[in-house]
Structure 1
Amino acid sequence: MGTGTADQADTPEWVGLPGGLLSMRRLLLVGWTLSLTAATAVAAGMLAGTAWAALGAFWLGVLAWGWVLLGRNWRSWRYAERADDLLISRGVLWREQTVVPYGRMQLVEVTSGPLERRFGLASVQLHTAAAATDARIPGLVPAEAERLRDRLTALGEARSAGL
């Protein structure tokens, strides 16, 4: 009697993060590693001789490694809105999936620091009665963050009204 509709309804529709978060994090990585490269090369060159200035290249290796890791981490973040809860999945080596029931949400806030605003990003912070289930979705476009906040708030009020 299975028509396959129940299987489709059980499968969440995952939404990934926009590319602005990855761009912001990579720009920070480049800024810090190039600064450390220059500082290490100058300090080693002045203290131990010009040949030792090549130690600054270590930070270029960190840059290449960090570039790849940031991309993998960014791709691992996703969220899905289901009928009764919100799923948030993240992590590359240690995968973590958080389930936040709408009826348990006490506060949903949208935050955006100076750097996030510069890149046109915002984060959604979810607070529940149990601190262990608080969750955060970083790097959203502000319009999506506000839409998600409004939807989660409405669903939270509807689910908690019966308690």
Structure 2
Amino acid sequence: MPDREPNPCAGQQAEPAPESSDRLELAETGEWKRVSPKYVVVEIVGTIVNAIVVCGGATLLWLLLDQTWAMWVGIVVLAVSIINLVFEPRRVRSIGYLLRADDLLFRRGILFQRFVAVPYGRMQLIDITRGPVARWLGLADLKFVTAAASAGVSIPGLAEADAESLRDRLVELAESRRAGL
């Protein structure tokens, strides 16, 4: 039997999986900034308007065209809207952002949490938008377009002055990071 060459991978141990202590400890990275508590009003108004439109359309279909299924759709939409209204304040409190050395960290969600890190050098466009209710309350949304367009991030419910100063700061950081590339 011919001698086999030793396999350089044989006998080597794989690197151990990172332990939980190697993970990013989000609570220790800095102080999270939250959106304005007034943003709850924007979300509640949006939920109510949506429920009125869908339930109104379903009611018209049910009464005028005798479509029984539309009644059930209206009932389901109304029930989901009421549940959504109950959880709106907690959902709004879960939204936050954190400016770190190299990126902006964004979080949202109660049951399904989302954490997004947006590197400053990848920011291509930073946009401020204001809906009618948000404008009435003095709030604005800050939206980012990055090199990976599918990973767009929006920080809703910022006070207008905070949104403008954060936009200016992020533009400054993005330009300095892109210049270093």
Q: d(CA) in 1 for partners of 2:75 and 2:131?
A: 32
Q: d(CA) in 1 for partners of 2:37 and 2:121?
A: 31
Q: d(CA) in 1 for partners of 2:149 and 2:50?
A: 33
Q: d(CA) in 1 for partners of 2:112 and 2:105?
A: 16
The share of aligned pairs that are identical, in percent, is: 42
Runs of 4+ in 1 over 6 A off after TM superposition: 56-60
Is the helix fraction higher in 1 or 2?
Answer: 1
Higher-Rg structure is 2
Change (3 A) 1:33 1:131: closer
Give 1:123 shift.
Answer: 0.6
Q: Which residue of 1 aligns with 2:124?
A: 106
Q: d(CA) in 2 for partners of 1:110 and 1:29?
A: 22
Q: d(CA) in 1 for partners of 2:164 and 2:118?
A: 18
Q: What is the RMSD computed on CA atoms of the aligned residues?
A: 3.2
Q: Which residue of 2 aligns with 1:159?
A: 177
Return the TM-score normalized by structure 1.
Answer: 0.74
Q: d(CA) in 2 for partners of 1:88 and 1:81?
A: 9
Return the TM-score normalized by structure 2.
Answer: 0.68
Which of residues 92, 100, 104 is equivalent to 1:74? 92
Change (3 A) 1:58 1:100: closer
Q: Which residue of 2 aligns with 1:11?
A: 29
How many correspondences in the alignment? 151
Map 1:109-124; keep pairs closer than 5 Å.
109-124=127-142
Q: Given residue 114 of structure 1, which amino acid in structure 2 is its aligned partner?
A: P
Give 1:116 shift.
Answer: 2.1
Task: Tell me the SS of whatever aligns to 1:19.
Answer: coil
Q: Which runs of no fewer than 5 residues in structure 2 stay unpaired?
A: 1-24, 67-73
Q: Which runs of no fewer than 5 residues in structure 1 stay unpaired?
A: 1-6, 48-55
